[in-house]
Amino acid sequence: MKPTYTEVSIDKRGVATLTLNRPEVHNAFDDKMIAELISILGSLASDDAVRVLVLNAKGKNFSAGADLNWMRAMADKDYQQNLDDADELAELMHKLDRFPKPSIALVQGAAFGGAVGLVACCDIAIASDNASFCLSEVKIGLIPAVISPYVMRALGERQSRRYFITAERFSADTALNMGLLHQVVAKEQLDAAADTFIQTLLQNSPAAIKAAKTLIHNIYNRKIGNNVIAHTTQAIAEIRVSEEGQEGLTAFLTKRKPNWLSEE
């Protein structure tokens, strides 16, 4: 699929930048953009050259959420058509949430509705100090259903109860305090802030990062019992005997760089 609503680039370090590119409509997304993002994320996930994913957007705003024309069209369709459409958005959120490499969201301006879901699905989220967020669905008689598992995981149930039903707009600092964001910087510092994280991530084992992300997904919010304990012991045993686990341990013990580090 040739991108039309997005741009993709991969630099020599293996950093893939996926850019929302509909600034004329504040990067609002519709079924075509969703399908494009699903396809691109699938390709990047399977590309061994990709080490880190950066999700950003062109223009004044990160994303206004759902495109008005798309919502208008869906209002004229039946239940099954709306269910199929929602399944596509759910697949996008799931693919981004389970992306096997570290992901960083860079947010400027407004991030409304489904865009808050995109931010919540990334491992690290950085916003400019002029960014603002809104779960605006109830204003037009809808609910933030598909994105709710990811947003609630970030905000917690208590804050979600407030912002899901008030549709209040909240600032980057508020988003930071609630856990949706990890850092707030001046707009002109977004790329530099991302690069600091990228440099740190590139020092680490790609296989271990993937395994760490899987570990979190598998044990988060589960009762600590025999099954969880068994999963954690199996996970560490598997990574210890893996190729990168052996390489990392050997490199550490012999005081040399592991082979996933660039020689530059």
Q: Is the per-residue pLDDT at 263 higher than 60?
A: no
Q: What does the pLDDT look like over 60-97, one tens digit per residue? A: 999 999 888 888 888 889 999 999 999 999 999 999 99
pLDDT of residue 248: 86
CA-wise closest residue to 54 among 259, 221, 256, 197:
197
Q: Are residues 216 and 146 in the same domain?
A: no
Q: Is the per-residue pLDDT at 3 higher than 70?
A: no
Q: Are residues 145 and 225 in the same domain?
A: no
CA-wise closest residue to 54 among 18, 100, 95:
18
The residue type found at 163 is: Y
Tell me, yes or no, whether 261 lies in a domain: no
Q: Are residues 155 and 242 in the same domain?
A: no
Q: Are residues 222 and 137 in the same domain?
A: no
Query: Which CATH number does the domain housing residue 20 bear?
Result: 3.90.226.10
Q: Mean pLDDT throughout 93-105?
A: 98
**Of 181-185, 213-217, 244-248, which gets the smallest average pLDDT?**
244-248
Cβ 57 vs Cβ 19: under 8 Å: yes
Q: Which domain holds residue 227?
A: 206-253
CA-wise closest residue to 54 among 175, 192, 154, 151:
192
Rounded-to-integer distance, Cα 23 and Cα 60, Å: 7
| Cα 67 from chain centroid (whole Å) | 20
pTM summary value:
0.94
Tell me, yes or no, whether 101 lies in a domain: yes
Q: Which two three-digit tokens encode residue 198?
A: 């990228």
Q: Are residues 218 and 100 in the same domain?
A: no
The residue type found at 89 is: L
Tell me, yes or no, whether 84 lies in a domain: yes
Over the chain, what is the mean pLDDT? 94
Tell me, yes or no, whether 1 lies in a domain: no
Q: How many CB atoms lie within 10 A of CB 70?
A: 17
pLDDT of residue 100: 97
Number of domains observed in the structure of the chain: 2
Q: Which two three-digit tokens encode residue 258?
A: 């592991």
Tell me, yes or no, whether 264 lies in a domain: no
The radius of gyration computed from the CA coordinates of the chain, to the nearest angstrom, equals 19
Q: Are residues 148 and 211 in the same domain?
A: no
